Chain A
Amino acid sequence: MKPEQLSIEGIQEILRSERYICDRSLATVVYLSLVMGKPLLLEGEAGVGKTEIAKVLAKVLDAKLIRLQCYEGLDANTALYEWNYPKQMLRIKLEEVGHGDKEAVETEIFTEEYLVKRPLLEAIQSDGANPPVLLIDEIDRADMEFEAFLLEVLSDFQITIPEIGTLKAKHRPYVFLTSNRTREIHDALKRRCLYHWIEYPSFEKEYEIITTKFPEIESLMARQICAFMQKVREMNFYKRPGVAETLDWAAALIALNRRGLDDKTVVETMGCVFKYREDLHHLREQIDARQLNLEALLRAAPELAG
């Protein structure tokens, strides 16, 4: 699929065919990002589907997904390229045995053959039929220095290797950046990107997500799960659960052959939703104190059309 053939509706549709439910404003931004060739910076709480959308897009665009996971201390060498030293050494040894031309070897071992490509170089060098999708995940975890370096790569889509020269992108990759906001991203980088904040889904959207992913799920239980998730996101937990947790939980409940939720089931399976001891404790208190009442939640949940 070529992005030129796409429309905003088209994006919504093909993402849905891969079971990713996306609202119109996100589809608009994704469409613009693909057509304008401008990186898209996605922010939002953990587990709302920031990384997922890049993966799904790569699939539907029939593009190679190249992922760069950021972490503190990530440097240009790890992200870009490195020389394959053992291979170079071996070559030198071989030439020594055969009394080859020393000077020729020196130039030959600094060619692309001896280059270990890291994600960014790979994205630029990718020569598939379609441009690759480059996912730069959790950019907020990398240092500022790396951000500055990235700025350069993302504006020119070319990389200079001193021994070889400048390598230009064959296709301009589709770039997606995600951030969990553990720190602010520099304005200069933000300015190069389109920006979108992915919200937690509404009750209706989350219901759609669950039933699309698990068509076999009981409708009542799906509604109970959604109502429960909507409620706990309003409450004061250290780590509010995202859609990823919702799906884990639904999968677990299906595996356990549950058809509906009750307090006991919730308590038993809460490890799927909350990953901190304090949060589990808090949840238990709330259930015991009848602050969280499944029946009441379901009554308050909106009616679903159809």
Chain B
Amino acid sequence: MEITRETVAAAVNSYSSVRGHGTLANLMSFARVLKQLGVKIGLSQVIDAARAVRLIDIADRGDFRALLRANLISQKEDFPIFDLAFDCFWREQSYEKVDPEDLETQGEPQESGGRDGGEEQGLEEALADGFAREDSPREPLEEISVPAYSPQESLNQKDFSEMGIEESRAIARAILLIATKIATQISRRKKRARRGATVDPRWTLRRSMKYGGEVVELVNRKRRVKKTRVVLLCDVSGSMDCYSRFLIQFMYGLQNELWGVETFVFSTSLSRITHLIRTKDIGNALEKISGSVLGWSGGTNIGRSLHTFNRHFAPSMMTHRTVTVIISDGWDRGDVGLLEAEMRALKRRCRTVIWLNPLLASENYEPLCKGMQAALPYIDFFLSAHNVDSLVRLGRTLQKMVA
């Protein structure tokens, strides 16, 4: 959902019926408005906000805003939504109604005079009434879920080539989240392997000498962490334009978390862009790259590009543990013989070759073009990468390789 002044106003108005019945009700409605606008809020946060109101002089609107924001918002990205909603909801006249006295009396059951639950208990009950209980502190942290992003469902299946600018921003964000999650999974796997280390008897005995031969510490034999490098070779010729951007974005997300991701782009020649995408603003970086890389959106010469890679970069980057990911539709205008020779050389040097071809998604695609034909024998995984779902699958494949 895109947040504008109008959508915020609509959300505020939809709660207008509950307005004006005391400050607590107002506070709850405000929390609901925020929830409706996509902000994640738990019941406990609303309770704490209600308690906090008593602690400051709420005649100061700025302090009141800071108070609600600190309690109800927990990521910077939601600040603009909060600010719009705050201004729209706590208009001057209703703002004046905020009265700590209200809060305390509101918390109690209005009809009965009994006060057994205690003040805070009452507050909690009052708030829980109608406010979905979503606060479950013991929920497992391990669970990996696709980020809750509203346009996600429809976009998951949508081909990158069909997207408009607005959609592509949304999808870029989703891709980064997925990439980061996958990468975090991978790094945790590695740690577990280390933890399952075995005891090293020799060192344990040696170390025990300083305690007079008593075994005091167990020395673990740590498995040397063998790191797997991922090398990405991305086709940025005209026919791949709409796909490459997203794929580079995906690798950028991985690069942030994963050791040693190297990124190259190629069309008629090859360029290393690892250092260029090591920046915060990936969109901006891509603009710069497309400006500086020769032949972006031009023709393709896969053979020559691979030759450059094999000759200049492979010796220092490739080991028997390296995973190479090539992203291309295989439409090649160069020498097919050269392409085959270079693919063979590449395959010999590394552990796994993954080829991603966005065209693979269409039902009647057959890898008939000569370039693709020549490369096929040297490919371990031939996958499609045309939408978010396929990227999630790629992530899982990589996860198995790298872990």
Q: B-contacting residues of A (Cβ < 8 Å)?
A: 8, 24-25, 28-29, 31-32, 35-36, 38, 40-41, 43, 72-73, 85-86, 89, 93, 143-145, 147-148, 151, 155, 182-184, 186-188, 190-197, 236, 238, 240, 278
- Segment with Cβ contacts to A, from B26-34, B37-45, B353-361: B37-45
Mark B279-303 against chain A: 1 for CB-CB distance below 8 A, else 0: 1110010000000000000000000
Task: State how many angstroms separate the Cβ of B366 from the closest Cβ of chain A.
Answer: 41
Are B73 and A195 touching (Cβ within 8 A)? yes
Q: B168 at the A/B interface (Cβ < 8 Å)?
A: no
We find that the number of chain B residues with CB closer than 8 angstroms to chain A is 46
Mark B109-126 against chain A: 1 for CB-CB distance below 8 A, else 0: 000000000000000000
Q: Which B residues lie within 8 Å of A28 (CB)?
A: 56, 63, 66-67, 70
Contact of A36 among B48, B137, B140 (CB under 8 A): B48
Are A144 and B184 touching (Cβ within 8 A)? yes
Contact of B70 among A32, A86, A148, A188 (CB under 8 A): A32
A30 (CB) vs chain B CBs: closest residue: B70
Are A143 and B188 touching (Cβ within 8 A)? yes
Are A86 and B216 touching (Cβ within 8 A)? yes
B279 (CB) vs chain A CBs: closest residue: A238
Are B137 and A144 touching (Cβ within 8 A)? no
Q: Which A residues lie within 8 Å of B69 (CB)?
A: 25, 195
Task: State how many angstroms separate the Cβ of A72 from the closest Cβ of chain B.
Answer: 7
Are B216 and A278 touching (Cβ within 8 A)? no
Are B141 and A238 touching (Cβ within 8 A)? no
Are B184 and A191 touching (Cβ within 8 A)? no
State in angstroms the CA–CA spacing of A194 and B45 once bound together: 9
Are A8 and B278 touching (Cβ within 8 A)? no
Given the interface pairs A188-B139, A197-B76, the reply to whether A24 lies near B45 with Cβ below 8 Å is no
Q: Which B residues lie within 8 Å of A36 (CB)?
A: 48, 51-52, 55
B185 (CB) vs chain A CBs: closest residue: A144
Are B216 and A89 touching (Cβ within 8 A)? yes
State in angstroms the CA–CA spacing of A240 and B52 once bound together: 35
Are B70 and A187 touching (Cβ within 8 A)? no
Tell me how many residue pairs across A and B have CB atoms closer than 8 Å: 101
Given the interface pairs A151-B137, A193-B74, A194-B70, the reply to whether A32 lies near B52 with Cβ below 8 Å is yes
State in angstroms the CA–CA spacing of A240 and B137 once bound together: 36
Task: State how many angstroms separate the Cβ of B208 from the closest Cβ of chain A.
Answer: 10
Between-chain CB contacts (< 8 Å), 26 pairs? A24-B62, A24-B63, A24-B66, A25-B69, A29-B70, A31-B56, A43-B76, A73-B191, A85-B217, A86-B211, A86-B216, A93-B214, A144-B184, A145-B142, A182-B257, A184-B75, A186-B141, A187-B40, A191-B45, A191-B74, A192-B44, A195-B69, A195-B70, A197-B76, A236-B284, A278-B275
Task: State how many angstroms separate the Cβ of B60 from the closest Cβ of chain A.
Answer: 9
Q: B149 at the A/B interface (Cβ < 8 Å)?
A: no
Q: B310 at the A/B interface (Cβ < 8 Å)?
A: no
State in angstroms the CA–CA spacing of A193 and B74 once bound together: 8
State in angstroms the CA–CA spacing of A143 and B141 once bound together: 10
Are B67 and A32 touching (Cβ within 8 A)? yes
Q: B204 at the A/B interface (Cβ < 8 Å)?
A: no
Contact of B257 among A85, A155, A183, A236 (CB under 8 A): A183
Q: A-contacting residues of B (Cβ < 8 Å)?
A: 40, 42, 44-45, 48, 51-52, 55-56, 62-63, 65-67, 69-71, 73-76, 79, 135-137, 139-142, 180, 184, 187-188, 191, 211, 214, 216-217, 256-257, 275, 278-281, 284
State in angstroms the CA–CA spacing of A85 and B218 once bound together: 11
Task: State how many angstroms separate the Cβ of B58 from the closest Cβ of chain A.
Answer: 11
Are A195 and B75 touching (Cβ within 8 A)? yes
Contact of A195 among B65, B74, B135 (CB under 8 A): B74
Are B44 and A191 touching (Cβ within 8 A)? yes
Contact of B74 among A31, A35, A190 (CB under 8 A): A190
Given the interface pairs A85-B217, A89-B211, the reply to whether A25 lies near B62 with Cβ below 8 Å is yes
Task: State how many angstroms separate the Cβ of B183 from the closest Cβ of chain A.
Answer: 9
State in angstroms the CA–CA spacing of A43 and B74 once bound together: 10
Contact of B56 among A32, A193, A236, A240 (CB under 8 A): A32
Task: State how many angstroms separate the Cβ of A198 from the closest Cβ of chain B.
Answer: 10
State in angstroms the CA–CA spacing of A240 and B280 once bound together: 10
Q: Which B residues lie within 8 Å of A151 (CB)?
A: 137
State in angstroms the CA–CA spacing of A13 and B26 once bound together: 33
State in angstroms the CA–CA spacing of A73 and B256 once bound together: 18
Are B187 and A145 touching (Cβ within 8 A)? no
Q: Which B residues lie within 8 Å of A29 (CB)?
A: 66, 70
Q: Which B residues lie within 8 Å of A195 (CB)?
A: 69-70, 73-75
Task: State how many angstroms separate the Cβ of B147 from the closest Cβ of chain A.
Answer: 9
Q: Which B residues lie within 8 Å of A191 (CB)?
A: 42, 44-45, 74, 135
